[in-house]
Amino acid sequence: MKKLVLVLVGAMLVGVSVVSAKNLPAVAAKLPAEFKQEIVDQLDYPNFAKENLIEGEVWMKVTLTEKSEVRVVDLSSTNPELGEYVKKELSNLYVEDADFPTGNVYYLKVNFDLL
């Protein structure tokens, strides 16, 4: 009986993690290097995640508006706190003098890995 309960709990946990992660591509599609660098420079490993040994992945679709604002079009993460952190950090990001078109949607995956 105990084995059955453990198997069911394990299956539920796996199901929850699969449901929370949408099927977004894991690799950026034609993401301009300049745009990627702006995003990478904005995202440090958050202190709350370091202190609590939280790791995870965040998949997102991002675009650059005509006003040079970075907008997160869609986001999914293996850890909700990391997803919220990424949304918050990118909500204040502006890319000045961009040499790539605005309005395109780009796919990006960010790994938060303590190793």
Per-domain residue ranges of the chain: 22-112
The more confidently predicted of residues 39 and 5 is 39
CATH numeric code, 22-112: 3.30.2420
**For 33-45, what is the mean pLDDT?**
90
Q: Would the pTM of this model clear 0.75, i.e. be above it? A: no
Look at residue 25 in the predicted model and tell me its pLDDT. Answer: 39
pLDDT beyond 90 at 89: yes
Backbone phi, then psi, for 71, in 5-degree steps? -120, 130
**For 55-82, what is the mean pLDDT?**
94
Quickly state the pLDDT bin for 2 (edges 50, 70, 90). low
Angle, to 10 degrees, between the axis of helix 33-42 and the axis of helix 80-90? 110
The more confidently predicted of residues 10 and 31 is 31
Backbone phi, then psi, for 94, in 5-degree steps? -120, 140
C-beta atoms surrounding 108 within 10 Å? 24
CA 5/CA 1 separation, integer angstroms? 6
